[in-house]
Amino acid sequence: MTSVPATAWPPLPYREWEPTKQTLHRYVQMVGKLRMSLVPFRNHWWHVTLYVSAHGLTTGPMLAGDLTVEVELDFVEHRVHVRTSSGAAAGFALRDRLPCADFYRDLSAALHEVGVDAEPGRRPFDLGDSPPFPEDREHESYDADAVERYGDVLRRTQAGRAPRQLPPRAVGRSRPPRPPSRVGERRRPSRADRRVLTVAR
């Protein structure tokens, strides 16, 4: 991969990498639908998000029976990694001429190998008349150099952002503090202040 200055975005002309983008989009949907089937529902579909990792995209930890499993699309080593909390690991190479049907088969086999009883998503979403993933042999382009540049864009976009965890839900009611009194101005005691004064007496 050709290096670029740290301040420059890596070139990624859509027309040149569009066949790879279409294939990668389907790979990501399969993994995302797997996450959707394993992670409890959250409002606004926050539970289906894949997260940017140092090497690509990851599901993060997902509960699968007694195991915790993670699936990572590695755009540096060009592999899919499937790991569990038991130490089991499996995976396969991302490469050109890997149809979506074979990706589906290989990911299903990797999940089974590490003891996870789950399947990737089978049906594409919002991709026109694209066939079901287990039958899709049309989308098979994988330009490793373009995928590396795409991974670089993801990391640059994500770097420096706030943690992905949502803020805790507020409990009860909160209000801004009272503005400080001006110097020399006497503020009428609040009801809480009067209670404290009464107890102090």
C-alpha closest to that of 121 among 58, 46, 48, 56: 48
C-alpha closest to that of 151 among 43, 72, 44, 98: 72
Distance of CA 83 to the CA centre of its chain: 16
Mean pLDDT of 80-109: 97
* Count helices and strands in the chain by DSSP H and E runs: 4, 6
Mean pLDDT of 181-198: 54
Q: Which of 30-44, 134-148, 155-169 has the highest mean predicted lDDT (pLDDT)?
A: 134-148
What is this structure's pTM? Answer: 0.75
Which has more pLDDT, 165 or 156? 156
Q: How far apart are CA 110 and CA 154, in angstroms?
A: 26
The SS3 of residue 90 is strand
Q: How far apart are CA 196 and CA 201, in angstroms?
A: 9
* CA distance readout (Å), 45 to 37, 41, 101, 156, 158: 12, 7, 26, 24, 20
Mean pLDDT of 132-156: 95
CB atoms under 10 Å from CB of 95, counted, come to 12
* Tens-digit pLDDT profile for residues 122-137: 988 888 888 999 999 9
Mean pLDDT of 149-170: 71
Mean pLDDT of 136-164: 86
The pLDDT of residue 76: 97
Q: Which residues make beta-bridge pairs with 73?
A: 57, 80
Q: How far apart are CA 194 and CA 30, in angstroms?
A: 63
Return the minimum-mean-pLDDT range out of 28-42, 79-93, 149-163: 149-163
Q: Which two tokens stand for residue 4?
A: 């670029």
Mean pLDDT of 31-58: 89
Specify whether the CB–CB gap between 83 and 89 falls below 8 A.
yes
What is the bridge-based pairing of β-strands 67-74 and 89-93?
unpaired
Task: Name the amino acid, one letter, at 24.
Answer: L
Specify whether the CB–CB gap between 130 and 29 falls below 8 A.
no
Mean pLDDT of 144-158: 93
The pLDDT of residue 13: 93
In this predicted structure, the answer to whether residue 68 has a pLDDT above a threshold of 80 is: yes
Residue 128 DSSP symbol: T
In this predicted structure, the answer to whether residue 160 has a pLDDT above a threshold of 50 is: yes
Place of tokens 């590490």: 114
Phi-psi region of 118 (alpha: psi -120 to 50; beta: other; left: phi over 0): beta
